[in-house]
Amino acid sequence: MAMAAALMVVVAVLGLATGGQAQLQYGFYRGKCGADDVEAVVQGVVRARFAREAPIVAYLLRMQFHECAVNGCDGGLLIDGPGTEKTAAPNLSVKGYDLIADVKAELERRCPGVVSCSDIQILATRDAVALAGGEAYPTSRLYKSGGRAGATDPSLDPYYAFVYKTWVCPDTPASDNNVVFLDDQWSALQVDNNYFKLLQRRRGVLAADQNLYADGSTRWIVDLLANSDLFHSLFPQALIKLGEVNVLTGAQGEIRRVCSKFN
Give pLDDT tens digits for 146-173.
767 788 888 889 998 898 888 888 888 7
Query: Are 128 and 154 found together in one domain?
Result: no
The pLDDT value recorded for residue 16 is: 39
pLDDT (0 to 100) of residue 170: 86
240 and 151 housed in the same domain: yes
CB–CB of 127/108 below 8 Å?
no
**Angle between helices 3-14 and 56-68 in degrees, nearest 10:** 50
Q: For position 176, what pLDDT does the model report? A: 67
Q: Which of 13, 14, 45, 66 is catalytic?
A: 66
pLDDT value of residue 29: 81
What is the rounded CA–CA span in Å between residue 121 and residue 77?
11
pTM, rounded to two decimals: 0.54
Say if residue 153 carries a ligand binding annotation.
Answer: no
74 known ligand binder:
yes
Q: Residue 57: give the domain boundaries.
A: 38-132
Among 132, 159, 174, which residue terminates a domain? 132
Q: Which of the four pLDDT bands, split at 50, 70 and 90, describes residue 23?
A: very low
Would you say 102 is a known binding-site residue? no
In the chain, the amino acid numbered 120 is: I
Q: Is 171 labelled a binding residue?
A: no
Q: What is the pLDDT of residue 124?
A: 92
Same domain, 153 and 83: no
Task: Clarify whether 232 is annotated catalytic.
Answer: no
- DSSP tag of 165: I
Torsion over CA of 126, 56, 209 and 203, rounded to 10 degrees? 120
Q: How confident is the model at residue 140 (pLDDT cuts 50, 70, 90)?
A: low
Cα 213 to Cα 239: distance, rounded to the nearest angstrom: 23
pLDDT mean over 221-241: 89
Helix (H, G, I), strand (E, B) or coil at 144: strand
Question: How confident is the prediction for the chain on average, in pLDDT?
Answer: 80
Reduce the DSSP state of residue 98 to 3 states and report it: helix
> Average pLDDT, stretch 124-139?
64
| The residue count for the chain | 263
Mean pLDDT of the region 118-145: 72
Q: How far is CA 10 from CA 146, 150, 160, 177, in A?
A: 25, 30, 23, 25
> What is the per-residue pLDDT for 26?
59
- The reply to whether 39 sits in an annotated binding site is no
Instruction: Mark whether 164 and 221 lie in a shared domain.
Output: yes
Q: Which of 108, 132, 156 is the last residue of a domain?
A: 132
Whole-number Å distance between alpha carbons of 65 and 9: 7
HEC profile of 177-246: CCCCECCCCCCCCCCCCHHHHHHHCCCCCCHHHHHHHHCHHHHHHHHHHHCCCHHHHHHHHHHHHHCCCC
The last residue of one of the domains, among 62, 97, 132, is 132
> Residues with Cβ < 8 Å from 93, sequence gap 6 or more?
1
Residue 211, classified by CB atoms within 10 Å of its CB into exposed (0-12), middle (13-18) or buried (19+), is middle
32 belongs to a structural domain: no
